[in-house]
Amino acid sequence: MKSNQDQSTNSVLASLEKISLSFGGIDVLIDVSMNIFRGELLALIGPNGAGKTSLINCISGFYKPKSGHVFLNSLDISALGPVKRAKLGISRTFQNIELYSGLSVLDNLMAARQNFMTYGIIAAGIFFGKARRQEIRNREVIEDIIDLLELEAIRKTVVEDLPYGFRKRVDLGRALSSEPGLLLLDEPMAGMNSEEKEDMARFILDVKELWGTSMMIIEHDMGVVMDISDRIFVLNYGRRISEGTPEEVKNDPEVIRAYLGE
């Protein structure tokens, strides 16, 4: 994994070019350009209302920007909807956990693998040949995720019976199920206690190390951000105000001003 990261740190996985987004008369994002490199963990920070979630929505295709382009593997995907982008390997988690609350953890994760199911309803019914092979393959991938995120004990628990911290973990698992090349994490640690945050940070690093997944993470806990991210991108009022390694960003007067409101 390490060598993989070394060779590819310079290659761009996804990039945004002069993205602008507005709701009515309010400018949410103004000319934001950024690169996401292969295998990196990029943190997106900024005060409340800076436009972080909107930016993620622009990448995943939930929002259509007013102007600008989104590239994935040098391919312009600006015109594609969220489903097609997901098929190209963009996956995300949600601030307010989006899972099927009546299904078990296992079923939630399996459902997220629908991109890898190509059999028809009849084949699924008799569970033979392709359907069976794919189902087994899908379950194997899910079991790897269960193992990584330590979900064994709740595999068959219905999601609505789970405490909040576990649901967040399952949401991450759901996002991983589609084997994404780019994972967008929208506040994966919000509302967690420090022990749960520590676990989550460990899982995120494990994912990065094991599968080399490129990740963009929105997080408010600066301690965690500084600890785990390779690079930080700072937004304020829809504009890019700083970008760089944790050390650089920490000492950037612009960032300090944005946070402390000098």
Partner 1 sequence: MIPRSFGHILGNKKRNRAKTMLDQSQSLADTLPKLLLGYYKKFGHSKVALREKTRGIWVKYTWADYYSIVRHLATAFLELGIHKYEKVAIIGETKPHVYWYELAALACGGQVLGIFPDSSPSEMKYFLSHSESTFVVCQGQEQVDKILKIKDECPYLKRVIYWELKGMWSYEHPLLITMDEMIKIGKKCVEKDPDLFEKMIKGTKADDAAIFLYSSGTKDLPKAAVHSHWGILKLVDMLDRIVSARETDQTVSFLPLALIGEQLLNLAYSLFKGFTVNFPERHETVRENIREVGPHFIFLSPSLWEAFIKTIRVKIENAGFLRRFCFETALKVGYRIGDARMLGKKADLLMRLVNILSDKVVFRPLRDRLGFSRTRTGIVFGATVNSDVIRYFHAIGVPLLQAYGSVESPIITIHSKNLIKPGSSGQALRGSELKISEEGEILIKSPFLFQEYYKDPEETVKVIKEGWYYTGDYGRINEDGQLIVIDRMDALQQIKGDKRFSPQYSEIRLRSSPYIKNCVVLGHVERDYASAIINIDYDSVGRWAEANGIAYATFTDLRQNQGVISLLKKEIETVNKYLCESAVIKKFIILHKEFDPDEGELTRDHKLRRDFVRDKYDNLVEALFGNEEKIDFTTSISYQDGTKAELKSLLSINRI
Interface residues toward partner 1, by CB under 8 A: 1-2, 139-140, 143-144, 146-148, 150, 152-153, 155, 202, 206, 209-210
> Residue 75 or 153: which CB sits closer to partner 1?
153
How many Cβ atoms sit within 10 Å of the Cβ of residue 102?
Answer: 10
State in angstroms the smallest separation of the CB of 115 from partner 1. 22
State in angstroms the smallest separation of the CB of 1 from partner 1. 5
Let me know: does 36 contact 213? Beta carbons within 8 Å.
no
Instruction: Please give the structure tokens belonging to residue 69.
Output: 């382009």
> Residue 1 or 79: which CB sits closer to partner 1?
1
What residues have CB less than 8 Å from 146, skipping those under 6 apart?
105, 106, 109, 152, 155, 173
CA atoms within 13 A of residue 220's CA, in its CB half-sphere: 12
State in angstroms the smallest separation of the CB of 258 from partner 1. 32
State in angstroms the smallest separation of the CB of 104 from partner 1. 12
> Residue 147 or 247: which CB sits closer to partner 1?
147
Give SS3 for 73.
coil
> Residue 146 or 258: which CB sits closer to partner 1?
146
State in angstroms the smallest separation of the CB of 194 from partner 1. 10
> Residue 84 or 202: which CB sits closer to partner 1?
202
State in angstroms the smallest separation of the CB of 151 from partner 1. 10
State in angstroms the smallest separation of the CB of 152 from partner 1. 5
> Residue 18 or 202: which CB sits closer to partner 1?
202
> Residue 148 or 190: which CB sits closer to partner 1?
148
Q: Are strands 182-186 and 214-218 parallel, antiparallel or unpaired?
A: parallel
- Look at residues 200, 258, 233 and name the one whose alpha carbon lies nearest to residue 56: 233
Exposure b/e, 48-77, CB count within 10 A at least 16 = b:
eebbbbbbbbbbbbebebeebebbbeeeeb
What residues have CB less than 8 Å from 70, skipping those under 6 apart?
14, 15, 16, 17, 19, 58, 59, 76, 77, 78
What residues have CB less than 8 Å from 217, skipping those under 6 apart?
41, 42, 43, 44, 185, 188, 204, 225, 228, 229
Give SS3 for 215.
strand
